[in-house]
Amino acid sequence: MSKKLLLKDAHIEGIRYFETYRKQGGYEAVEKAFKMTPEEITEEVKTSGLRGRGGAGFPTGLKWSFLAKPEGVPRHLVVNADESEPGTFKDRYLMEFLPHLLIEGMIISSFALGAHDSYIYIRGEYAWITNILEEAIDEAKAAGFLGKNILNSGYDLEIYVHRGAGAYICGEETALLESLEGKRGNPRLKPPFPAVKGAWERPTVVNNVETIAAVVPIINITGAEYAKIGVGKSTGTKLISACGNINKPGVYEIDMTISVEEFIYSDDYCGGIPNGKKLKACIPGGSSVPIVPANLLLKTINGEDRIMNYESLADGGFATGTMMGSGGFIVLDEDQSVVEHTMTLARFYNHESCGQCTPCREGTGWMYRILKKILRGDGEMKDIDLLWDIQRKIEGNTICPLGDAAAWPVAAAIRHFRDEFEWYIDNPESQTRNYGMSNYA
């Protein structure tokens, strides 16, 4: 069983409330951090090797060190809680059950960054969690951990919760900042990165919920001890939200040394596939990362066990590997249709495209319509090549990664399951002619 750092107290009744959280050692990391300098805290985070848990895996300490610090200009920490990636629900779990872990992490991180106004941008659908967070913020403030002169340190901090309105694109950090500023959530060109020009054009660090929560154990056990957990550049623990055809869907904390096979079949985690069905494929990092067939999922190109970490999942590049991404682990058994699954994702990305960039705005619609055409039995062999061509024209040609996220699932599905596309085209009469009708309009 993996070591637990984030969820170790998640089972304790009342852990959502300040008093219980404090009894379990909560806010001791804040007390420890306030005896350190901001530079020392950043150094601990760098030493820990913590990588951004939102999906990109960018080194957190490095991002913090990029934060511009011009005299007299306020800077901000913005926590990205706009968790919208299909298959990803780990931040929801953290915030719902351990809101004080996030707030404690925010206090330490804001102190390290010199921020006095910090924000949690939460997806609109998590309305009940907004209430939980606001209640926890009030409790922390009443106990002297937020507000003016925290613990007599002379340091002031306010945390605000800002609810989004249900647009996936607002999870992209620059669209998120636009939305936070009260504007339409259209992504900005990068550079400048938010670390230089972020919220209200001020230096801003945008970090995922899990990333900021991980700062608490890092300060508690030290960066060096945190770095000893895991392997290579995959240090510490990672939350995985597992769903699809598995016996035990849920949120698991893993230490990034366990194999994919163990994660799927062990009773400590997913508990295998229902009804003895065979594993067909998996999307291990949220819907944006490439789907991989079972054989390539369980073994690397060198025939070694594939491990649940950043390096091993990506082994072999996009041709054979996939990505750790946000840790949204979606399992497909032998009965699932990859073409249908790909169409569902294409519909999602088409719906969520902000429309700013032509390749994404138009291309996602084209991919969705062609996939529907194949599924309703009207496909032609040339449609497969057309799909391939369209996804190639989207990838890398848009302001933000939504375009890539829409292109990669299509590319991987064709790469690994071309015969399934061909089967649909060769067997038009076996298709559900409903596709393209009201359900999938």
Rounded to 5°, the CA angle 281-287-291 comes to 30
Q: What is the four-CA torsion angle of 395, 398, 401, 405, rounded to 10 degrees?
A: -40
Interaction residues for ligand NAD, span 273-302 (CB under 6 A): 285-286, 288
SS3 content of the chain, % helix, strand, coil (to 5): 45, 15, 40
**CB 168 to ligand NAD: min, Å:** 7
Q: Which amino acid is at 155?
A: Y
Task: Determine which residue in the list 26, 363, 401, 409 makes contact with ligand NAD, applying CB under 6 A.
Answer: 401
Does residue 206 belong to the site contacting ligand NAD (CB under 6 A)? Answer: yes
66 binds ligand NAD (CB under 6 A): yes
Q: How far is the CB of 345 from ligand NAD (least distance, A)?
A: 12
Q: Is residue 309 at the binding interface for ligand NAD, with CB under 6 A as the rule?
A: no
Determine the distance from the C-alpha atom of residue 57 to the mean position of all C-alpha atoms in its chain, rounded to a whole number: 9
Task: Let me know the angle formed at the C-alpha of 73 by 71 and 75, rounded to the nearest 5 degrees.
Answer: 115
Distance CA 212, CA 59 (A): 12
Nearer to ligand NAD by Cβ, of 84 and 130: the residue is 84
Listed ranges 167-175, 355-363, 373-381, 421-429: which one lies at the site for ligand NAD (CB under 6 A): 167-175
Which residue's CB is nearer to ligand NAD, number 139 or number 172? 172
- Tell which residue, 398, 405, 292, has the closest CA to residue 338: 292
Hey, which residues does 117 pair with through a beta bridge? Answer: 76, 158
Task: Establish if 86 lies at the interface with ligand NAD (CB under 6 A).
Answer: no
Decide if 167 contacts 39 (C-beta within 8 A): no
With beta carbons less than 8 A apart as the criterion, state whether 141 and 147 touch. Answer: yes
88 is a site residue for ligand NAD (CB under 6 A): yes
Determine, following the binding rule CB under 6 A, whether residue 186 of this chain makes contact with ligand NAD: no
Least distance (Å) from ligand NAD to the CB of residue 207? 8
Report the nearest approach of ligand NAD to the CB of residue 85 (Å): 3
Is 171 a residue that touches ligand NAD (CB under 6 A)?
A: yes
Per CB under 6 A, the segment of 3-11, 16-24, 49-57, 214-222 that binds ligand NAD is: 49-57
54 in contact with ligand NAD (CB under 6 A): yes
Closest to 349 in 3D by CA, of 418, 398, 383, 384 = 398
Burial of 39 (0-12, 13-18, 19+ CB in 10 A): exposed
Whose structure tokens read 């002169």?
Answer: 149
- The two beta strands, 117-122 and 76-81, are parallel
Any contact of residue 100 with ligand NAD (CB under 6 A)? no
195 binds ligand NAD (CB under 6 A): yes
Q: Which is nearer to ligand NAD, 18 or 235 (CB)?
A: 235
53-61, 69-77, 109-117, 415-423 -> range binding ligand NAD (CB under 6 A): 53-61
Alpha helices in 181-335 (DSSP H): 209-221, 223-228, 260-265, 294-298, 310-313, 317-320
Judged by CB under 6 A, the chain residues 316 through 335 that form the site for ligand NAD are 325-326
- E-only strand ranges, 16-165: 76-81, 117-122, 158-163
Under the criterion CB under 6 A, does residue 223 sit at the interface with ligand NAD? Answer: no
Instruction: Determine the Cα–Cα distance for residues 28 and 40; give it in Å rounded to an integer.
Output: 17
Among 26, 49, 55, 403, binds ligand NAD (CB under 6 A): 55
Q: Under the criterion CB under 6 A, does residue 63 sit at the interface with ligand NAD?
A: yes
* Residue in the shown chain whose Cβ atom is closest to ligand NAD: 55
Binding site for ligand NAD (CB under 6 A): 52, 54-56, 58, 63, 66, 83-85, 88, 171-173, 193-195, 206, 285-286, 288, 325-326, 401
